[in-house]
Structure 1
Amino acid sequence: MYICPNCGNFKFTAFRCHSRFCPTCGNMYSIDRTTAMSFKIIDVQHRHCVFTIDDSLRPFFLKDRSLLNCLFSAVNSVISRMFHKENKSELFTPGFICVLHTFGRDLKWNPHIHCLVSEGGVGNTLSWRHFKHFNYHFLRDAFQTALLNELHQKIGPAFKKVKSAIYAKDKNGFYVRAMPNKCNPSQVIKYIGRYLGRPVIATSRIDSYDGDFVTFHYNRHEDNKLITETVPVLEFIDRLTQHIPEKHFKMIRYYGIYARHRNSDNFLRKAISREKHNFFLSLNRWRDSILHSFGYDPLKCPNCGKTMLFLELYFNHNPVPLHELYEKAMQKHRCRSPASFSYLPKPLFS
């Protein structure tokens, strides 16, 4: 609860639900993960890559969510091999961060990996070497082979026919977007941050709901054409809930020099210090995030415009009866100074 020291107006603020479906909590989660990523990102050129799969593979990942780990391991092996091929004695290791997305713009099941890759790596003897060229054809073919082999190993002989059909259909491998971005790390973090923990659909894309049908819009990825779709409400909910990840499943994973076991490398000394990290966590990011994301100050009193102050509802783990708190506070709602609330036990008022 917050209270205005000028007019005595009360305001309740809910605890975070920590759901990616919530516009507030999803946005806050994205900010937290983007900040954590900025602690690891080094000041070198990065590239945003997208690894996609064949349509016929999507039902396998939907039926067995544990297979989503194969997407991460396939991307990890392919990128590592591409850099190791540059010099077999140095075995250059890049830094890359993988983010799993299970939905497309139409909200249907479409698992794919967004990957932020450094355009260079650390060698066994060399501290850093920059690579301008990514072997696009190798990424397509190698990712297809690595993923299909892992799925075949997990699923068993029943996957052999599907594997053969996909090789015949996708002769050039799976589509991988790895074009140069030419953006600095701060822009890269802001760009990739849009894919971290955001809700499946933004509330601004939901046009109407009449109790039976939901109408939403999106720009089709192929030609950027605006598409408006109306679906029954239960189908709309089904499209949303299928993207809820399994408990403790990691949607963001760090590899190469960004992996946790590599954090002791001298090359990563540029990363932000733990002291600065703790200082950042101590700031009132909730108020600033709401103001930045939704355009209003959540602690601004709607009556008089003064900044509302925090009023704790619990004291020594014993709840204060809410009606008593209201009665006492409303008796002095015309007060002009927080000192007028001195009857409240410390530190109830701060």
Structure 2
Amino acid sequence: MKLIQEFFQRKSKVMPGIIAGLHTFGAKAQFNPHVHMMVTMGGMTAKGEWKQYDYLPFEMLRKQWQTVVLKLLREKLSREEIKRIQPILQQAWNNHQNGFYIYAPKQKGNIKEQLRYIGRYMRHPAIGMSRIVAYDGETVSFRYKDKKDGQMKIETLSVEEFIGRLVQHIPDEFFKLIRHYGIYGRRIRSLCRKILGRWQEQVKRWIIKMNRIKRRNWSQRQKEQSGQDPAICRRCGNCYEYKGEVCQENGRLVIRYTIDLMARKYLERMIGYQTGNAKKEEKSQESQPLRVPLQSSTFVWVVTNKKKSPTKW
């Protein structure tokens, strides 16, 4: 962060805004610490004016970042440790003539959508539930993208090894993974917001307002990704209503939560249909409920006859 702040201060005499997020994991949940940053393309001058800036010398930052990292390592180590790892540090310097890795392509397009994506990415866990493809009680299989060839692959681990990979990324108590610097700092954030608002009114040049980016619910996120509203049945076009949650415990399907007594009776009947313990009654196709395979943990939705937009949940 100091590198970015010092660069803006030297070149433009401005204070930028920086949001930094620490990730300790890679694609396979292995230990791979790195930092993601969102940096304003400009900053606040000492006179309280906003100054635009549209260039960052990434090649220079790579070399500076390399120098800072190796210098910090030498400062934190004892003389005996430095002598022992000095060949490794020298090799790291020689093997990276262009500096350490900094990836910062120019972003174009919908700024709000990019901010949503980057903000969500900075907060995501080591492995999302959607990446887990199989679990049999002894092993866990999950998808990951191999950055060497760009292909999606499957890795299978024992439960113990899988848990071990995850718990190493649990931060210490009170340790902040996301930090704010510059004009986003806690001490001067409100003041900078007021100054920037006055400047925007005077020059009639509006920078995107973060408070206009509203948090989306699960249905909206799924619709943006797949183009299909998950609360609308693809067969009949009717709406789904949330009734409760069914999970698997000791090889049996049990009801974890229902919204009311009628929903519980309905889910009990559905479990009976799935397990074959209930008598199958002949029903017309219109009145028969939609049956879906219940997995280890399933949110149950029921098709209603209401052809209207589903209620937000």
TM-score over 0.5 for the alignment? yes
- Give the Cα–Cα distance (whole angstroms) in 2 for the partners of residues 108 and 217 of structure 1: 14
**Which runs of 5 or more structure 2 residues have no equivalent in the other structure?**
201-207, 223-229, 232-238, 245-257, 261-313
Say which structure is richer in strand.
Answer: 2
- Give the Cα–Cα distance (whole angstroms) in 1 for the partners of residues 166 and 152 of structure 2: 20
- Give the Cα–Cα distance (whole angstroms) in 1 for the partners of residues 76 and 240 of structure 2: 49
Distance 1:273-1:104 versus aligned 2 partners, 3 A rule: closer
Which one is further off, 235-244 or 117-126? Answer: 117-126
Task: Encode CA deviations 1:138-181: one digit per residue, 9 max, x unaligned.
Answer: 11011111222223222333246143332122222111012211
Following superposition, the deviation at residue 121 of structure 1 comes to 1.5
- Give the Cα–Cα distance (whole angstroms) in 2 for the partners of residues 229 and 273 of structure 1: 39
Tell me if structure 2 keeps the 8 A contact 1:134–1:178: no
Give the corresponding residue for 1:131: 53
Secondary structure, in 3 states, of the residue corresponding to 1:260?
A: coil
Tell me if structure 2 keeps the 8 A contact 1:291–1:298: no
Tell me if structure 2 keeps the 8 A contact 1:101–1:195: no
Secondary structure, in 3 states, of the residue corresponding to 2:54?
A: coil
Give the corresponding residue for 2:168: 242
Could you say which structure has the greater relative contact order, defined with CA pairs below 8 angstroms and 6 or more residues apart? 1
1:116 equivalent to 2:38? Answer yes
Write out aligned runs for 1:212-291 (5 A). Answer: 212-263=138-189, 264-265=191-192, 266-269=194-197, 289=217, 291=219
Give the corresponding residue for 1:190: 116
What is the identity, as a one-letter code, of the residue corresponding to 1:131?
A: Y
- Give the Cα–Cα distance (whole angstroms) in 2 for the partners of residues 298 and 78 of structure 1: 52
Tell me if structure 1 keeps the 8 A contact 2:22–2:177: yes
1:80 equivalent to 2:8? Answer no
Distance 1:222-1:85 versus aligned 2 partners, 3 A rule: farther
Distance 1:81-1:243 versus aligned 2 partners, 3 A rule: same
Following superposition, the deviation at residue 217 of structure 1 comes to 1.4
Write out aligned runs for 1:40-79 (5 A). Answer: 76-79=1-4
- Give the Cα–Cα distance (whole angstroms) in 1 for the partners of residues 136 and 23 of structure 2: 30
Distance 1:300-1:184 versus aligned 2 partners, 3 A rule: closer
Tell me if structure 1 keeps the 8 A contact 2:48–2:196: no
Following superposition, the deviation at residue 299 of structure 1 comes to 7.9
**Which runs of 5 or more structure 1 residues have no equivalent in the other structure?**
1-75, 310-350
Q: Which of residues 141, 150, 154 in structure 1 aligns to 2:63?
A: 141
Task: Encode CA deviations 1:208-256: one digit per residue, 9 max, x unaligned.
Answer: 1222222111121233211111122211111111111111110001111
Write out aligned runs for 1:311-330 (5 A). Answer: none
Distance 1:268-1:150 versus aligned 2 partners, 3 A rule: farther
Tell me if structure 1 keeps the 8 A contact 2:36–2:122: no
Tell me the TM-score normalized by structure 1.
0.55
- Give the Cα–Cα distance (whole angstroms) in 1 for the partners of residues 22 and 150 of structure 2: 22
- Give the Cα–Cα distance (whole angstroms) in 1 for the partners of residues 242 and 7 of structure 2: 54
What is the identity, as a one-letter code, of the residue corresponding to 1:122?
A: M
Tell me if structure 1 keeps the 8 A contact 2:17–2:183: yes
Following superposition, the deviation at residue 184 of structure 1 comes to 4.8
Tell me if structure 1 keeps the 8 A contact 2:27–2:144: yes
- Give the Cα–Cα distance (whole angstroms) in 1 for the partners of residues 184 and 94 of structure 2: 37
RMSD between superposed Cα atoms in Å:
3.2
- Give the Cα–Cα distance (whole angstroms) in 2 for the partners of residues 176 and 239 of structure 1: 25
Distance 1:206-1:118 versus aligned 2 partners, 3 A rule: same
- Give the Cα–Cα distance (whole angstroms) in 2 for the partners of residues 210 and 125 of structure 1: 63
Tell me if structure 1 keeps the 8 A contact 2:49–2:196: no
